[in-house]
Amino acid sequence: MTQEVLIPKMKRPEGHKKIRFNIPLIYMLILVFCVLLLIASTFINLDIKHYILPNNLFSKALTTQDFIKEINLIVQIPILMLITSAIGKKMSVLAVLLYIFCGLFVIPVFALGGGIHYLAEYSFGYILAFLPAVILAGSFLQKKYSFLYMFLAALCAVITIHLLGTFYFILIALLKHDSFNFISGWVASQTAGKLFYDLLLSFVAILIGKYINSFLKFVLK
């Protein structure tokens, strides 16, 4: 008998197999770029003016400014939808997780800073809501890039972010024993008008992301 036959081959137990993640470099670069895009969008504000009917419509002291309402809109939600549409659900979830991890444990990338104490910030619920919003929107877009599915993706994502963000704010405000007037005023300022523009811009972003997605598929084949 040869030595090879006499010495039994040792097999590594199944439970000790190493788990390896093989992510191509190009996908890692795309992921990092999307995280940087999310960070940058936090600090980009749009001042949107639109016409309204004032409460004191029949007052003689009305001026032109009384018919104009200005909304300060952060473009992070539309950018999130652009990313979801462009790179798909799985990659978008990774981008959001990396963004949240960086903000809590690495560098202050959120609008008001960062760190683990940011969990107690009023607006952190909006950031946490990015995850279910991306999953919902990505699930619709996986089916088909039709007008209906793109609209449903934008609608579900925007409503999810605003609802969960509002619930989180109310929870933190109650824990801090804030007044009802403060809570109602803050909620009104965050939802009134912003829902419409977030939805509109998110739909446009998804439409743009559709063509970016097609381009990336063509390039990465």
Residue 216 vs residues 17, 55, 119, 144: alpha-carbon distances, Å: 34, 50, 35, 17
- pLDDT, tens digit, for every residue of 162-204? 999 999 999 999 888 878 887 877 777 777 678 888 999 999 9
For residue 5, the model assigns a pLDDT of 44
Q: What is the mean pLDDT of residues 126-142?
A: 95
For residue 55, the model assigns a pLDDT of 59
Question: What is the domain extent for residue 188?
Answer: 23-220
CA 56 to chain centre: 38
Cβ 83 vs Cβ 32: under 8 Å: no
Share of the chain above pLDDT 90, in %: 50
Mean pLDDT of the residues in the chain? 83
| Higher pLDDT among residues 97 and 9, named by residue | 97
| Higher pLDDT among residues 63 and 186, named by residue | 186
Cβ 145 vs Cβ 158: under 8 Å: no
Least confident of 21-25, 32-36, 121-125, 128-132: 21-25
The C-alpha atoms of residue 38 and residue 103 are separated, in whole angstroms, by 11
Q: Which amino acid is located at 44 in the chain? A: I
Residue 209 within any structural domain of the chain: yes
Residue 38 within any structural domain of the chain: yes
- pLDDT, tens digit, for every residue of 72-88? 778 999 999 999 999 99
The DSSP code for 108 is: -
Residue 3 within any structural domain of the chain: no
Residue with tokens 């965050």: 190
Residue 12 within any structural domain of the chain: no
| Higher pLDDT among residues 45 and 201, named by residue | 201
Residue 9 within any structural domain of the chain: no
Confidence of residue 62 (pLDDT cuts 50, 70, 90): low
For residue 4, the model assigns a pLDDT of 46
Confidence of residue 6 (pLDDT cuts 50, 70, 90): very low
Residue 8 within any structural domain of the chain: no
Share of the chain above pLDDT 70, in %: 78
Residue 15 within any structural domain of the chain: no
Residue 11 within any structural domain of the chain: no
Q: What is the mean pLDDT of residues 198-211?
A: 94
Domain of residue 160, CATH code: 1.10.1760.20
Whole-structure pTM value: 0.80
Cβ 65 vs Cβ 44: under 8 Å: no
The C-alpha atoms of residue 191 and residue 186 are separated, in whole angstroms, by 9
Domain count, the chain: 1
The DSSP code for 121 is: S
